Amino acid sequence: MLYTITHQTPGRIRLNLDVPKFPKVDAEQVENHFHDLAGVVKVSFSPRTGSLLIRYEGGDIACAAILERTAAAPLPGTQRRRPATELEDKKKTVVRSAILLLARPLISPPVRPILAVYGAMPIFRKGIESLRRRELNVDVLDASAVGAAMATRDFLTASLISFLLKLGEYLDAWTRNYSRRLLSEMFHTTEEWAWVEHNGEEIRLPLEEVSVGDTVVVRTGSLIPVDGVVIDGEAMVNQSSLTGEGLPVLRRKGASVYAGTAVEEGVLRVRTVLVGDQTRAARVVRIIEEAETLKAESQSRSEAIAERIVPYSFLASGLELFSRGRQRKRGSSPKLVLWNNALVNALSTRNFTDALGDTIWWGRLVENAVGGHLCNSLNSVEYTLTYWRERDHEVDFVVARGNDIWAIEVKSGRSAKTSGLSRFRARYPEARALLAGGPGIPLADFFSRDAGDWLV
């Protein structure tokens, strides 16, 4: 291949290759032509300008080898379209989701729900597939979270959750892909060409066309592309990528050599024994990749616990702060209510006597029991269950149905203090007060009837 040197400094050379501008040549093919040269650090080729930039180590010897390889290189083929990888597909999905999220203020309101549903379809599919396998896992929880946001017509939250889940998947895939690329570069397993002796001539063949028994010729400055046995010649071979040895070792007739090692001085004719994914270097990379997929004991336990918690997550509700102001309502912290008090008792070490003697703990149990009863009884879209707090004044539960509002205060002891209830009624005069426990409705009676019966 013809070339001209456009710029050269120690350790860096830029060449202008005489290649056609259209159709574009395969840049990866040109770059791979130099990767097996010892001392080459980085290769970058631009098909548009024909500019080839090579950074190298090794001084004049490495530079001369680069120029010799360039002159002997055949004209590269045109660029072939390759199918998109899984990582590229995930990247496109994340970018598309981010653009739609940022452009949301410019999109017509009737179109936003359609885009939100479209963006969440992969999440829904995973959740449905898990349910078909009769598994209640994190995928089901993710799909439920997005679906719940859409059911309340909060499509912005649904789109944001979808985007964050897709971003997490992309970052996980990018990390694994980056690790594999580093391993391949470390062991030089990405080489695609070899010089093979055929009928007395040396032919440069793609590595996938090299067969067991072929004679491969490796010269100074090149990487050995196959595992094999030396049948002629001798050379100093750097095996540090496989063995960690700091000094090169002498290899002559009868000695074994391995792919990924470099010939520092000399010429070898090698009979191929293993090639491609069967070489020792490729097997090392494969073992490391498989080990990468194995999870640490602590990680496995954490994921197992997370999977077990999922069913109970559906038995809890995060109540919003009751407010006529939408911004204040959105900025509040949710109040967690478990739908079954057995979940609270299961995580506690107290027996019944100890719990009854601890007034604070007992008060929390009774309040959660009332909240669970309300959640189980008023689980239709007709009712909205929230709570209310203003500084030191609080109402345990606020039930709304249309324009009707009920403020429910829970009393587990003899105290009849209802300052929160009084403050709430002063703020919302139309609200009706309901006292459960204490001097109000006996708790046994409250639990014995449907909560809706008390809302009259």
Distance CA 192, CA 33 (A): 8
Distance CA 338, CA 334 (A): 13
Least confident of 12-21, 290-299, 348-357, 416-425: 290-299
**Range of the structural domain that residue 221 is part of:** 193-285
Closest CA to 389 of 326, 321, 317, 325: 321
What local confidence, expressed as pLDDT, does residue 331 receive? 44
Looking at the structure of the chain, the number of domains it has is: 4
What local confidence, expressed as pLDDT, does residue 328 receive? 43
What local confidence, expressed as pLDDT, does residue 95 receive? 92
CB 175 within 8 A of CB 273: no
Within this chain, do residues 357 and 418 fall inside the same structural domain, yes or no? yes
Within this chain, do residues 450 and 328 fall inside the same structural domain, yes or no? yes
How open is the CA angle 5-9-13, to the nearest 5 degrees?
Answer: 40
**Cα 268 to Cα 254, 344, 389, distances in angstroms:** 11, 74, 83
Within this chain, do residues 449 and 340 fall inside the same structural domain, yes or no? yes
Which of the listed residues 141, 170, 186 is the one where a domain comes to its end?
A: 186
Is residue 300 assigned to a domain? no
pLDDT one-digit tens code per residue, 414-456: 565 677 888 888 888 888 888 888 888 898 898 888 888 888 7
316: pLDDT strictly greater than 70: no
Residue type, 377: S
What local confidence, expressed as pLDDT, does residue 236 receive? 92
Is residue 302 assigned to a domain? no
What local confidence, expressed as pLDDT, does residue 327 receive? 40
Token pair recorded at residue 427:
């703020």
- pTM for this entry: 0.47
322: pLDDT strictly greater than 60: no
3-state secondary structure at position 311: helix
Within this chain, do residues 137 and 265 fall inside the same structural domain, yes or no? no
CB 193 within 8 A of CB 32: yes
Which of the listed residues 131, 159, 186 is the one where a domain comes to its end?
A: 186
pLDDT one-digit tens code per residue, 148-180: 788 777 888 889 889 999 998 899 888 878 877
Is residue 90 assigned to a domain? no
CB 124 within 8 A of CB 161: no
Least confident of 93-107, 268-282, 310-324: 310-324
Q: Percent of the chain beyond pLDDT 90?
A: 14
CATH number at residue 281: 2.70.150.10
Within this chain, do residues 323 and 433 fall inside the same structural domain, yes or no? yes
Within this chain, do residues 224 and 101 fall inside the same structural domain, yes or no? no
What local confidence, expressed as pLDDT, does residue 359 receive? 82
Within this chain, do residues 354 and 443 fall inside the same structural domain, yes or no? yes
Within this chain, do residues 104 and 55 fall inside the same structural domain, yes or no? no
3-state secondary structure at position 385: strand
> Which 8-state DSSP code applies to residue 142?
H
